[in-house]
Structure 1
Amino acid sequence: MLKWLAVGLCLATPAVAQDWQGRSGDQGFAPEALQAHLSGQMLEFFDGGQSRYDADGSYLWSYAGGGDWYGSWEVSQDSTVCVTFVTEVTRCDRIVQNDGRTVVLTADGQRFPVRRMLAQ
């Protein structure tokens, strides 16, 4: 249990006062457009991890090599999507497009291009 708490704390990021590490060419989404872009999609990353944004608001993060985190997702302002996990930990990421590719920006400055999007 302590292991999951430590992981959850690492995933937690406040939804305010974030300095997204954007790059030239990053284009954000309006809230309605981001909802439509993610709803019913599975995002597969280059490390093999996957984020699944179900149309009913449920969310699943699957680690490459095993391990799942369940929660619910909702779109916020500034091209941001927030996930509240079943552990009650919340994290928010900024989703942008750059040169036709979807990219996830984390609050701690990481950048994760999406390898491919799969409709569910």
Structure 2
Amino acid sequence: MRTWMILGLLSVATSGAAQEWKVHKGDVPFDAPSLKVQLSGQTLVFFDDGRSIFESNGQYQYTYGGGGTWYGHWEVTENSTVCVTFVTGVERCDRIVENGGRLVMQTADGLRFPVRAIEAHS
């Protein structure tokens, strides 16, 4: 069931530039160059043990906490947004902000996923 829900989220293509994001009190957005530096070469670890790997060469991997990996290419756009084009051709854009000293990923439909840890990717 969880896999189908996640696949459903991944199947919705959105434009980061056109998206109206729900801003929460304390959200601090990044400008595009700062967000690129923040993500490049890093792995974001979420509380469900999912991992987003942002390689410095633009390659991307998302591994679910229970296994399974999606591959793609990432790029930063405006409004603190990062877009991933998966090898399947599906694109998704998420907004990444800092709130209370923690990175938070916000999906196009308003879900928020705080980042538990940031690890340097080797």
Regarding TM over 0.5, the answer is yes
Give the secondary-structure state (helix, strand or coil) at the position aligned to 1:113: strand
1:61-110 Cα offsets, whole Å, 9 max, x none, are 00011100000000000000000000000000000001110000000110
Match of 1:10 in 2: 9
Match of 2:27 in 1: 26
Aligned-residue Cα RMSD (Å) equals 1.8
- Distance in 1 separating the partners of 2:102 and 2:72: 25
Match of 1:51 in 2: 52
Distance apart, 1:17 and its partner CA: 3.5
1:6-33 Cα offsets, whole Å, 9 max, x none, are 92x5312311542222210100001000
After superposition, residues 75-86 of structure 1 pair within 5 angstroms as 75-86=76-87
- Distance in 1 separating the partners of 2:92 and 2:40: 18
Match of 2:110 in 1: 109
- Distance in 2 separating the partners of 1:91 and 1:70: 12
Structure 2 gap ranges (5+): none
TM-score by length of 2: 0.89
- Sequence identity percentage: 53
- Distance in 2 separating the partners of 1:43 and 1:71: 16
Match of 1:42 in 2: 43
Structure 1 gap ranges (5+): none
Query: Which segments of structure 1 move beyond 6 Å, counting only runs of 4 or more?
Result: none
TM-score by length of 1: 0.91
- Distance in 2 separating the partners of 1:35 and 1:93: 13
Match of 1:119 in 2: 120
Distance apart, 1:117 and its partner CA: 0.2
- Distance in 1 separating the partners of 2:114 and 2:35: 16
